[in-house]
Structure 1
Amino acid sequence: MKAAYQAILEAERAAAEKKPTPAAAKPAPSREKIFREVIAAVSNTTPMIEPRPVSITPQNQAAIERAIVDGAAQLAENLQPDLDDGFIVGFDFGTSSVKLAVSQPYHADNPTKAMPAPEGLQSFGHPYLWQTALWLAPKTGRLSLYPIPGAVTLEGFKTGIIGAHGGELVRPDVNLTRVEAAAAFLALHFAHFFGWYRQAKPLGSAGAVQFMAVNIGIPVAAHDDARSFSIFKRIVAAALELAPFASRLTPDLVRQTHSRSPDRLPEGFYLVPELTAAIAGYAFAPTSQPGSHMLVDVGASTLDIVAFNLVGRESIAVFSAAVELLGAAALDSALDQQLSAEDFKRACDHEFEIVYGRARSPERAQDGFHAAYRRKPVQLLVTGGGSKTQVHDRFIAEMPTERVLGAAATIHPLPPRAMTDMSCDRSRLLLAYGLTRDLPDLPEIRLPSQVPSITPTHRAEPSFIGPEMT
């Protein structure tokens, strides 16, 4: 019996050795790994945001040129800001479009108007969104705000700056970097705006002759990073120096001017955190509430997420912020490179986890953001035209739930109706509207680097659960 039993064991052992061992299942890649793969895939691309025009009407060309010549002549006089009774320009420099508005502060009803964009240059047909693109005519070497026969399109320059590729050529066949192209673009728009303002008189009799301030919005994360902030300061400084020559800009002139531009802003020109502008209208509305907030701004190329506390509708403490190339056009770029929509959403989730995880940590603002300790939900504010994609819509929908931010209705802030004369999606003008406020009237902001960490108290802390963390 013993020998027979031993023979059975040996037979079973031999059979087991012949049977192939099943391959061990590969662990799923971490969300951080997916995030890095997505960012690497889109960071040095120029996403096709929308088809570019090949021509505009002669009437629109003439109107743009008249405004540029007029504005260039004004700026050649070295205009100084009128701090007592000047108008304020709000300049929302977006990756896909620019939005400009002007207000007359401290007058009845604080009149504010958005600048229309010419037909043919409107972004996705919005009457107040001007495509973020330049054209270069090879024969004349002239840079223009509108397409010229035979001209090449320069685009994606702000996207490249956000992606830390501002020093690279805007396109291989044009000897102009992305930061230089951005300076040329702003120079043309500075000249055009001042010419348009004097000719169109959008504020009527209330409008001042001289400007008080030009407020240009940049992401909170860029404002809080010394290197990024310096890059934008030099772009603005170069743009203002170039503006008097806007009707005859060439790549050589732009390169030379930017190379010597100082690391300081011209008088009357300011770089303002977009967060401040985005919540300006919301903060002073009677329905706004003090406390913990998350702002999610989905643009064409970027996804900005900011965790902040609104104190008495008068000041903002930013606990954490991030801006990544995870906007609507970046999604298209990722899909074109065979990345899945689900992986792109996981990358968005990872950015959210970084910002929210930092805000709800014991060292920052645990009592206001952590689900176990907060007394009320975190208020979610959503802006940006890119938020309507299926991926971003699903990403945002997971936030206002009990296990994440808490169950509170999402708010989509809007500027006042009187800002526009044409029917449009006013939410796209929120930043431009906020940027037309006088800086002392904006909520005071403390950036993440200015908010000191606190010594956490020792108490049990449940594990963090964020969007899609199931």
Structure 2
Amino acid sequence: MKSWKEQLRDAKKNLQGNHSKKTSDEKPTVVDFVPPASWLEASPTNGDDTLPLGSKSSVTQGSRDSCKKNRPTAAVTVSAPAGPRSKRGGAGANDQKEDAAKNLPGDPPIPDDARSPTQNQTSPTPVFRPHVDGGRSLAMPGWADAGSSLQHPEYQGGAPMVVRIGVDFGTAFTKVAIRAGVDLVPVDWSAVTSDESPTGQYVIPGFVHRAPDGEYFWRRFAETDIQGNLKLPLIEMAGSDECPKATLAYLALVIRYARAFLYQHPEVGRKLVTRSLRWELNVGCPTEPHERPAVVDLFRRIARTAWQLAGVNHLQESSITAAWRSGEADVGLETEPGVVPEFVAQIAGYLGSRQVSGGLYALIDIGAATLDVATFNVVLPNDLDSSPRIPIFFSAVRPLGTHYLNHNRHSRLDLDFAWDDAAPVEPADGFAKRHGKRRDDVDTVDSEFASRVARCIAGVTDGTRTNSRGDPRSSAWSDGLPIFVTGGGSSCELYRRAIETGELDLKRRMYLPSNFRFIELDPLGARFQHFGIEIGGRLSVAIGLTEDAESIARVVPHHDIGPIMRPGTERIDHTELYGD
């Protein structure tokens, strides 16, 4: 006869073999996750397609990581909370590295149908450089020289006016908006790019030319060197004193042109003649790196130096380096440049609207280079707070933007690498006809790419739903998760299809009628209806950055958030009801 221990072991095995269906009122599994210490020191490799921000090799690994394609990715980023080490982490650094290479503790399980099939790429993913109509050249107009001055060319003196410039410095393109008093001005770049299309008019590609003598400018010569990929390497530079010369030159040109554009604006420019302009500057920063003080300090220093260099006629390497080293404090700004998380600037209009409500939210930002996914809470202000608080739960950034969608199509279908990143993504049927390909072949390539997008979304939402560092008890999981879909690729059918896949997967996991509740952003508001929804959507971050940086919202980093404890119902003693 078997002992009681053996009988108990057999009973456990039998129970484990009977996978009964979960009921709708079953509580989600809570996974207590403490990351290895190495995660807090450097950007981890979070699996397939995860972009460790600031890593120069993050967009050049390509087929080297093809063997990792089917491994679930971690939803937790570098900024995960510090604390006691997990028991799974082992005792030494080698154990930590080994854990980082496996399915990480706290990693939400990714369903098989959300995994990306093994790719057979014909070429590795390149370092990002935007494709603009096969290499359209840029040219700074002569009237832009007026932007070297901090006052209108016909300045007559007068009462002060606060003018705030919001610079959405993107990986692929930059967008700028200016708030001068009550006027909001989106900067039109067609004088530089010669692109007057609705999609390309308000974006400037992220590259600059460098001549052999070390001068940077916007015009093309055969002997000049094109400098691109100006944003991603900055994250890796945080904490060092390295001078990002090309980035500084590019932003100096952006600021100079933006100021000149405001001066010559037919309606707003004439108001500036009799006002003394007091300038402020806000720049956007990716969500996860913003939690690192060294990154915020670097972005602020870059913004301040670029503002100073915008008044220099010739941007020579020597003058750029000198301005970087000098660290001059008085550069003509009323306050230090504001560095605002991009997703917070993106929803600034919503946070100040009447429709805002507190609770759990998700945001999916589809840019030209990257796909950003984040979950966060909105805590509305009370008597002690003058602005909302935004606790960030989980975020992921991957090179899955529209540029890499186009790159994947052209690479997998053996086509020449020629497309326009400023234009909307071509639908699959139109792409197939134009390139003489079978629609089924394009659909197969697109489906594989869409599954990678869906995995990214599922990783973040599942982490938030199951991890104690997320918000597993939020009513949004049953009532519908409010979600913002933003960025230049938000209208692309492929990304919409991937989001629907994430929604269906969430329903399957919850066994509830859980769904996504899409929130339409109106960044321009009712006062600027003549700009239209299309312009507002493309410029949502830049417009949000024209608000006072201190009043938009107060961000609570992921590592400062403890497990959310929902108060239970207090049990009443029977003596309080019936007496002794």
TM-score by structure 2 length?
0.59
The aligned residue for residue 248 of structure 2 is 183
Task: Report how far residue 29 of structure 1 moved.
Answer: 2.6
- Report the CA distance between 1:421 and its aligned residue: 6.0
1:85-128 deviations in Å (ceiling 9; x for gaps): 412111111122221111245xxxx4312121124514965322
C-alpha displacement at 1:328, in angstroms? 0.9
- Letter of the 1:427 counterpart: G
Residue 147 (structure 2) pairs with residue 71 (structure 1): yes
Taking a change above 3 Å as real, the CA distance of residues 178 and 382 of structure 1, as seen in their structure-2 partners, is farther
Match of 1:95 among 171, 174, 180: 171
Question: In the aligned structure 1, how far is the partner of 2:257 from the partner of 2:402?
Answer: 29
Q: In structure 1, which of residues 339, 356, 359 is the aligned counterpart of residue 464 of structure 2?
A: 359
Paired residues of 2:365 and 2:371 also in contact (CA < 8 A): yes
2:480/2:517 contact within 8 Å kept: no
Distance 1:114 1:365 in 2: 37
* Distance in 2 between residues matched to 1:264 and 1:362, nearest whole Å: 46
Q: Which residue of 2 aligns with 1:23?
A: none
Moved more, 177-186 or 252-261: 252-261
- Out of 138, 142, 154, the position equivalent to 2:215 is 142
Identify if the C-alpha distance between structure 1 residues 72 and 111 changes in structure 2 by more than 3 Å, giving closer, same or farther. closer
Q: Which residue of 2 aligns with 1:214?
A: 281
Residues 119, 201 of structure 1: alpha-carbon distance in 2 compared, 3 angstrom cutoff:
closer
Tell me the SS of whatever aligns to 2:288: helix
Query: In the aligned structure 2, how far is the partner of 1:28 from the partner of 1:279?
Result: 33
Does residue 195 (structure 1) correspond to residue 260 (structure 2)? The answer is yes
Structure 1 CA distance, aligned partners of 2:464 and 2:256? 41
Does 1:306 pair with 2:374? Answer: yes
Q: What is aligned with 1:30?
A: 71
**CA-to-aligned-CA distance 1:198-218 (integer Å, 9 cap, x gap):** 343753676653234211111
Contact 1:300-1:327 within 8 A present in 2 as well? yes
Q: After superposing the two structures, state which structure 1 stretch, 355-364 or 115-124, moved more.
A: 115-124
**Per the alignment, do residues 205 and 241 of structure 1 end up closer, same or farther by CA in structure 2, a change over 3 Å counting?**
closer
Written as runs of structure 1 = structure 2, the 5 A alignment for 1:271-290 is 271-290=339-358
Of the structure 1 ranges 140-149 and 278-287, higher mean CA displacement relative to structure 2 is found in: 140-149
Which residue among 394, 398, 404 is the counterpart of 2:501?
398
| Cα deviation, residue 419, structure 1 | 4.5
Give the share of equivalent positions with the same residue, in percent.
Answer: 21
Report how many residues are paired.
400
Partner of residue 453, structure 1? 563
Cα offset, 1:261, TM superposition: 5.0
Q: Is the 8 A contact 2:262 2:269 kept in 1?
A: no
Measured in 2, the distance between the counterparts of 1:434 and 1:449 equals 25
- Per the TM alignment, residue 316 of structure 1 is displaced from its structure 2 partner at its CA by 2.2
CA separation of 1:358 and 1:230: change in aligned 2, threshold 3 A? farther
Once residues 549 and 480 of structure 2 are traced to their aligned partners in structure 1, the CA distance between those partners, rounded to angstroms, is 30
1:367 is paired with a residue of what secondary structure? coil
Does the CA-based 8 Å contact 2:390-2:555 persist in structure 1?
A: yes
* Counterpart Cα distance in 1 of 2:291 and 2:397: 11
Structure 1: runs of 5+ lacking an equivalent: 1-25, 76-82, 168-176, 459-470
User: Tell me, what secondary structure is at the counterpart of 2:146?
Assistant: helix
Q: C-alpha distance in 1, partners of 2:490/2:206? A: 19
Residue type at the aligned position of 2:366: V
Aligned CA distance change for structure 1 residues 291 and 457 (closer, same or farther; 3 Å): closer
Distance 1:178 1:403 in 2: 50
Which letter maps to 1:194?
R
Say yes or no: does 1:238 pair with 2:238: no
Q: Distance in 1 between matches of 2:540 and 2:260?
A: 24
Distance 1:231 1:333 in 2: 31
Instruction: Give, in whole Å, the separation in 2 of the partners of 1:241 and 1:28.
Output: 45
Identify if the C-alpha distance between structure 1 residues 54 and 438 changes in structure 2 by more than 3 Å, giving closer, same or farther: closer
Q: 1:54 to 1:199 in 2, by over 3 A?
A: closer
Partner of 1:248: 314
Superposed displacement of residue 66, structure 1 = 3.0
| d(CA) in 2 for partners of 1:441, 1:268 | 15
Distance 1:240 1:317, change over 3 A: same
Match of 1:115 in 2: 187
SS in 2 for 1:386: coil
Q: Distance in 2 between matches of 1:365 and 1:204?
A: 48
Write the mapping of 1:256-275 to structure 2, written as runs, cut at 5 A.
256-258=322-324, 267-275=335-343
1:400 Cα offset (Å): 4.1
Structure 1 pair 369–303 and aligned structure 2 pair: CA distance change class (3 A): farther
Q: Deviations over 1:275-307 (max 9, x none)?
A: 221111122333333321101111000111111
Letter in 1 for 2:320: V
Indicate which of 518, 537, 540 corresponds to 1:430: 540
2:71 maps to amino acid: S
Deviation of 1:448 after TM superposition, in Å, equals 1.8
CA distance in 1, matches of 2:149, 2:470: 50
Residues 238, 294 of structure 2: 8 Å contact kept: no
The 2-side partners of 1:242 and 1:120 are apart by 19
TM-superposed CA distance for 1:437, in Å, is 1.1
Q: Which residue of 1 aligns with 2:77?
A: none
Per-residue CA deviation, residues 397-434 of structure 1 (Å, 9 max, x unaligned), is 23445347933442231322754866654310111111
Give the one of 515, 520, 538 matched to 1:412. 520
**How much is the aligned-residue C-alpha RMSD, in angstroms?**
4.1
Superposed displacement of residue 444, structure 1: 2.8
The alpha-carbon deviation at position 325 of structure 1 amounts to 1.9
CA contact (8 A) 1:113 1:420 kept: no
Match in the other structure for 2:391: 317
Q: Is contact 2:143-2:260 (8 Å) kept? A: yes
- Say if 1:118 and 1:53 are closer, same or farther in 2 by CA, change over 3 A: same
- Asked if the contact 2:160/2:276 (under 8 Å) is kept, the reply is no
